[in-house]
Structures are given as C-alpha cells and as structure tokens.
Structure 1
Amino acid sequence: MSQVPLPASFLTTPLAHRALHDVAQGRPENSRAAIRAAIARGYGIEIDLQPSRDGAAMVFHDYDMGRLTGRAGPIRLQSAAELAQTPLLGGDEGVPGLDEVLDLVAGRVPLLIELKDQHGQMGATDGGLERAVAAALAGYRGDVALMSFNPQSVIQLAELCPDLPRGIVTSAYRAEDWPLLRAEVRDRLRDIPDYAVSGSSFISHEVGDLDRPRVAEIKAAGGHVLCWTVRSAAQEAKARRIAENITFEGYLAAHPA
C-alpha cells in the first residue's frame, strides 16, 4: 500500500488536542467553540470521531456519553439529530458532526482526524465509520490527515481515501492504561507492526514513550513522528527532541519561529 506524504503544515503548526478546549471558558473538548478558538490562534486541530446510530461521523471522544454530556449510554445508540440536540457539558452547543466541522475549519488550519476503535480489540471493523469519513471528506479542500489506534481502520481508510495521508496512533500499551485490551493485543501493537502494510506516513506516539527504539526506526526510515498529549512547555521541549510536532492541551503551545 503506497504512502501519501503528510503535508508540511502538520510538522510546523502545533495541534490542539480535541481542539483548544477549556470548559472554564465555555469551550468543551471537540466542540465548535474549541475549534473556533484554535483557528483564531492559528493552531492545527486534532479531533475524534465516533459513529451515531444512523451512521454519521460525530466529533466526540468517548464511547459513553456520560462524562461529556451528563447523559449516560453509548453514543452509537443515538441518532445524529439527537446528538446535535444534546448539549456538551460546559458549553451551549450540541455534539457536532464531521460535516459541520469541515465547513467550520474550511482549510484554514490543518485538521488531524482520529477514528476511535469500533472493534474493542483493535481488530477488523464493519467499515461504517470509515465510509462515513470518506464520504464527508470527498471534495474537502484543506490539509487533513487520518489516523486511528486500530491499524485495521487505517488499512480500510487506505482503500477508501487513497489520496489522503494516514497514520497510526501508537502507545506503550501498559496494562494499567489499557485494561480492556488482551495482553497479546497490547504486545503486538506495541511494536507497531502494521505501519508499512497500512501505507502510513506518520505515527502519533505517546509522549512518555518517545524513546522507544521502534519510534526511532520509523523516523530513520522517513516516517514522521507526532506525539500525544503534551501538557506543558517543559514537556513540549523534551518531546521535540524526537517528535516533529505535538498534540497539546492545558497550555498555549508556542508557534515555531
């Protein structure tokens, strides 16, 4: 599977994690308000996607709605219309769809889109979310890249969106951080074995694990290394010794000179 180069903007523009969110300022994560704030400050934006009951790609991180809306239950049991009317805690807006976010960003800043795993053990998915993403992005004019922790999702995206850059979100996969993943799945994914077969051109790696030899190997072979999630200027300075760009939250990252 051929690689698609990552646009230079993803290496030069810090990426606001779940957009530039700050509930104290009325900007919940993955909200329109947080996206508008990121654009205003010239930051790139990282967002997460979950599917609605009717197959729409919704900009939302969790599988359960409780933490972010106060309304318990899986997001995938709600329709897109119902989600649009479900306010995010700390703001006054409902859950946005990917179509709305694409219209809002409109190519002004780079947009890094993470598809959340729908399998449960990072295996083959039914392709529903991937197809929804491909349909939403058809005709989009702007720097965009796609990624997932699930390599099978990235492989599907290579088939559906062959002209868009894609990558794998990677991790140390410690048992305490991933208690629901089987040990053999954690052990396999830790070595990033699907990088080549997925046609990835980048990884976004856990910031505390950037010194892993496999990360250096991918970088030495020409792959790009982004990282998640940086939470201070001091952590950013350390991460940038290895990572070419950061996904950040909780402070304002400096724009490179």
Structure 2
Amino acid sequence: MSAPADRRPVLAVAHRGDPYRYRENTLPSVESALAAGADAVEVDVQLTRDGVPVLLHDETLERLWGDPRPVRRVTLDQLDELRDGHLTVPTLAEAVKAVTATPAARLLIDLDDPGPAAATWAAVTGLGAERRVAFCGPATAMLAVRALAPEAEIALTWKQPRLPAADLLADLRPRFINPPFGLVTADFTAAARDAGLGVSTWTADLRRTMRRLRAAGADSITSNRIGVLRSVLDGRR
C-alpha cells in the first residue's frame, strides 16, 4: 500500500497470498504472490492461546487444517505440530520477514476485531517493519490500531455506499476507504477524493471486474488471482 494522491499506478494486492496455487495464509502462498508481482499481500491474523499472532482467517482450524479446535485454545507449540506435508500455520513474524525480503513489497494485515491489535503491532515493531505494513478492517479494529500506532497506514473497510461520518474519519485518519468491489463507482471514488481518501477494494477475480475498477478510479485492487490482476494492470493478456 502507498499514498495514492499523485495517481500512481493501481496497486495489486494478493488476497491471503496466492490461494489458487497454495493454501491461503501460508508462507508458500505469500511467496508465490510476491513472485507473481504483488505490490502487497493481504493476510489475516488470529491469536494462539499464548498470545502469538498467526496467519489464519477463521476462528477455528477446521476449514483449512481439518482440526475443529479454535486457534485461541491452541498454543504455538501445539500449532506447529499441525502440519500438512510442508505446510504449517505461519506466525505473523514469519510473514513479515518473507515480505520485507522483497524490495518495496508490503504486508496488508486484516484485523476483523480489536483483540489481536496489540500483539500484532508488537510483532511488527519488534522486527522494525512499521513502514512495510498497513492495516485494514472495520472501524472498531482500526481504532485500536490507531491508538497503538499514530502513523500506521490504515484502510478502513466500509460496506456502505456513503462515506463514513467526518468525525470517524477525523479520529481514524485512514489513508484509504476499503469497500467491496460492488460499491466502487466513479462517483464513489470522486467522493473519496474530495474527502482526501484513496480507494482500495476487494475481492475482484474476473478480468472485466478488474478493468471496471481501474476505470472507476480505484487506487488498489485485491484479488485471489494475483497473476491475472497483475497482467490486467500491466496491459498484458
């Protein structure tokens, strides 16, 4: 993620890595997305029982790892035993290291609630990676991030056709408004510009949708098909 004010090229953001090639929110998925040309990789964070931020979207391990336990009841050591071949549930620190090893790439951390915010920010600052990460999520989670990190880049996830109230924007100071792609129109992006906001959007997987979003003025597009998105933004077939 980066500042859109001078209308730089649209940013290509990989949704949970490269999930059509590798399991979402794993290191191979993150690394594949970076190799495909992602400007940023979006990941989800949950906390283990011992408070370690790890990459996982769901509250339980059932869907991806076949284990019904909530991740909050599993320690990091126990989680490390949960393997599928070479795949494991990575820590956020491992993902940060993978992204910062690629020049200019960034990590977009999606927080659905305020709970993981403090441990997540501690992991980022512990690696000195403050300038290589951004955050997205609903207002409650992003307000928790802002309280911890006055200068952090934030994309406020927003599911309404009208922009948030001015008071919320003043408190949160987001760099982007982050609606689902169905809400992004030229009028929406114009209103965001007038409010001093860039527009990031999710999750576009069809070429025609990607092209429409670019034409509507989106600054950042998130996709499960990062290679396709990269080709569309670069004007390649």
TM range (shorter): 0.7 to 0.9
Deviations 1:34-81 (A, max 9, x none): 111112122121111111111111111111221111111322111122
Q: Distance in 2 between matches of 1:106 and 1:79?
A: 26
The one of 221, 224, 228 equivalent to 2:202 is: 228
Q: Does the alignment pair 1:253 with 2:226?
A: no
Q: Tell me the amino acid that sits aligned with residue 42 of structure 1.
A: G
Alignment of 1:152-163 (within 5 A): 152-163=140-151
Aligned to 2:72: 76
Does 2:187 correspond to 1:207?
no
The runs of 5 or more residues in structure 1 that have no matched partner are 118-124, 174-189
Q: C-alpha distance in 2, partners of 1:142/1:72?
A: 36
Q: What amino acid is aligned across from residue 34 of structure 2 in structure 1?
A: I
The answer on 1:19 being equivalent to 2:17 is: yes
For the aligned residue pairs, the C-alpha RMSD in angstroms reads 2.6
- 1:172 CA displacement: 4.5
Is structure 2 residue 105 aligned with structure 1 residue 133? no
- Quick one: which amino acid aligns to residue 54 of structure 1? D
TM-aligned CA deviation for residue 10 of structure 1: 9.1
Could you tell me whether the CA contact under 8 Å between 1:115 and 1:148 is conserved in 2? yes
Structure 2: 5+ residue runs without aligned partners? none
Q: 2:31 aligns with which of 33, 36, 44?
A: 36
Q: Retained in 2: the 8 A contact 1:107–1:142?
A: no
Amino acid of the residue matched to residue 29 of structure 2? A
Give the secondary structure class of the aligned counterpart of 1:116: coil
**Secondary structure of the equivalent of 2:116?**
helix
Q: Sequence identity, in percent?
A: 26
Shift of 1:94: 1.2
Partner of 2:212: 238
Aligned-partner SS, 2:230: coil
Q: Report the TM-score when normalising by structure 2.
A: 0.83
CA distance in 2, matches of 1:76, 1:221: 38
Alpha-carbon spacing, 1:129–1:141, altered in 2? closer, same or farther (3 Å): closer
TM-score, normalization by structure 1? 0.77
Task: Tell me the distance in 2 between the aligned counterparts of 1:221 and 1:170.
Answer: 15
Cα-to-partner distance string for 1:217-247 (whole Å, 9 max, x where unaligned): 2232220101000011111011121311200
Per-residue deviation, 1:154: 0.9
Quote how far apart the aligned CAs of 1:12 are. Answer: 3.9
Say if 1:14 and 1:253, in contact at 8 Å, map to a contact too. yes
3-state SS of the aligned residue for 1:36? Answer: helix
Matched pairs, number: 222
Higher helix share: 2
* Contact 2:37–2:230 (Cα < 8 Å) also in 1: no
CA separation in 2, counterparts of 1:221 and 1:211?
Answer: 15
